[in-house]
Amino acid sequence: MIVIAGTQYALNDPVILTVGGVVTLILLLLFLSLRAANRSARMAEPLSRQMAHLGQHVQQLGQGQEQLRGGLQHVSDTQANAQVQVIQTVESRLSSVQQQMNDRLADNAMKSARALAEMQERMKESLHGSSKQTATSLTQLQERLSAIDKAQDNITKLSGDVLSLQDILSNKQTRGAFGEIQLNDIVSKALPSDSFQLQATLSNGRRADCLINLPNPPGPIVIDSKFPLEAYEALIGSTNDMELKAAVQMFRSTVRKHITDISEKYILDGETADGALMFLPSEAVYAELHAKFPELVQESFTKRVWIVSPTTCMATLNTMRAILKDARMREQAGAIRKELGLLHKDVERLGDRVGNLDRHFGQAAKDISEIKISAEKAGRRAQRLDNFDFEELAPDDHTNVVPLGQSEG
């Protein structure tokens, strides 16, 4: 029996059994809770110690960071001050060097300007002299051409008057000299005196009435004036068919032989042109030959003998004059080209000398810079020796200085 609050309960009573079970269960739960709490406390104890240790480390890191911040601030201030001083020093030196370089460059520019002005003046004088000579030559050439044009006009007027050979040629001697005299008069008035030769002797011993000195090609060309006028007089003086037939046959054979003689005598390979001129002293003879004897004209072409009258000879000489004028202009152009070549060489030589002068200036600037560096080093050494500051000599002095009171190790 169990007495609770004055009431007795049997041990086998269901209420007692239920209450006892509940109490036992509660006690068991309390025991398990306490055991779990003890185990949790034991497990949390190392963690709390680590947290405490970690807190100490964090506090130490904060202190170190604060110290590092202070040190960095000090270093930054020191570096900023040093950088400002270095910048000021460099700017001062650069300003000094720039001023010196500006002075040297100004001096060099003045010297170069003076030298170039002198060279330009000499070149201007040379060019002025060359242009003056060229203008003089062109003026003289123009005067000669004007004189030739006037002579051509006079010859053209004179050649327009066709005269009767029967009235002019009164005897044989006059007939022989007529063609030569007329040819000489036409050539002397149409061409410069130094461009032709009268009665010139060739290498084969033959004497040409006139030799025109043309440049190659075509080369010197011969003009022959020995036309057989007797055959033409017989042709125009015939009174019947028999005489006319005989005169035509004689004229044809005489002219053909004269063309062959000119071709063989006055066309020389390597000495004269590949053709020659046969001068007819009358336009009437020229017209008769071309009108009634075209086969003779064709044969003359084949043998490279060109038949000319006073009028056509003047036209041919005008063409030759143009050729001579062109050749002389080429000679003048060659002389001008030669002078331009010499001028070009002078300009190249001037450029080389200016380049040499520039290299000398560059070497002088380099030497002055090196002298300035040496002078600065010498000045620093003198200043340090004057202050007895031997311990702070720069490494670039290349001198081992032992402080006072110590022996060299």
Using one digit for the tens of pLDDT, what is the confidence trace for 120-172?
A: 787 777 777 767 777 787 777 778 777 877 777 776 665 554 444 455 544 55
Residue whose tokens read 């007939």 = 175
Q: Tokens for 274?
A: 């590949």
Share of the chain above pLDDT 90, in %: 0
Sign, CA torsion 188/191/194/195: negative
What is the pLDDT averaged over residues 258-267?
A: 88
Which CA distances in Å does 31 have to 28, 37, 45, 81, 238? Answer: 5, 10, 21, 74, 184
Three-class SS of 279-317:
ECCCHHHHHHHHHHCHHHHHHHHHCCEEEECHHHHHHHH
**Taking the complete model, does pTM exceed 0.85, yes or no?**
no
**Range of lowest pLDDT (51-60, 194-203, 273-282, 284-293):** 51-60
Three-class SS of the chain:
CEEECCEEECCCCHHHHHHHHHHHHHHHHHHHHHHHHHHHHHHHHHHHHHHHHHHHHHHHHHHHHHHHHHHHHHHHHHHHHHHHHHHHHHHHHHHHHHHHHHHHHHHHHHHHHHHHHHHHHHHHHHHHHHHHHHHHHHHHHHHHHHHHHHHHHHHHHHHCCCCCHHHHCCCHHHHHHHHHHHHHHHHHHHCCHHHEEEEEECCCCCEEEEEECCCCCCCCEEEECCCCHHHHHHHHCCCCHHHHHHHHHHHHHHHHHHHHHHHHHHCCCCCCCCCEEEECCCHHHHHHHHHHCHHHHHHHHHCCEEEECHHHHHHHHHHHHHHHHHHHHHHHHHHHHHHHHHHHHHHHHHHHHHHHHHHHHHHHHHHHHHHHHHHHHHHHHHHHHHHCCHHHCCHHHCCCCCCCCCCCC
Does a cis peptide bond (omega within 30 degrees of 0) precede residue 281? no
Rounded Cα distance between 255 and 259, Å, is: 6
Rounded Cα distance between 145 and 198, Å, is: 22
Give the model confidence (pLDDT) of 393-402 as tens digits: 445 444 444 4
Contact 195, 249 (CB under 8 A): no
pLDDT at 108: 78
Rounded Cα distance between 228 and 236, Å, is: 14
Residue whose tokens read 């062959």 = 260
User: Which backbone phi and psi does 286 adopt, to 5 degrees?
Assistant: -60, -45
Please check the confidence at residue 13 and state whether its pLDDT lies above 60: yes
pLDDT at 398: 46
Rounded Cα distance between 209 and 86, Å, is: 101
Residue whose tokens read 């079970």 = 21
List Cβ neighbours of 313 (8 Å cut-off, separation of 6 or more): 183, 186, 223, 277, 279
Contact 207, 199 (CB under 8 A): yes
Of 90 and 11, more confident: 90
Give the model confidence (pLDDT) of 278-307 as tens digits: 888 878 888 888 888 888 889 888 888 888
Give the model confidence (pLDDT) of 200-216 as tens digits: 888 888 888 888 888 88
Rounded Cα distance between 290 and 280, Å, is: 12
pLDDT at 178: 67
* pLDDT interval class at 22 (50, 70, 90): confident
Contact 356, 348 (CB under 8 A): no
* pLDDT interval class at 405 (50, 70, 90): very low
pLDDT at 400: 46
Rounded Cα distance between 78 and 84, Å, is: 10
Q: Tokens for 305?
A: 């003998």
Rounded Cα distance between 207 and 201, Å, is: 4
pLDDT at 5: 56
Q: What is the mean pLDDT of the chain?
A: 77
pLDDT at 74: 83
Please check the confidence at residue 408 and state whether its pLDDT lies above 60: no
pLDDT at 290: 86
What is the pLDDT averaged over residues 379-398?
A: 60
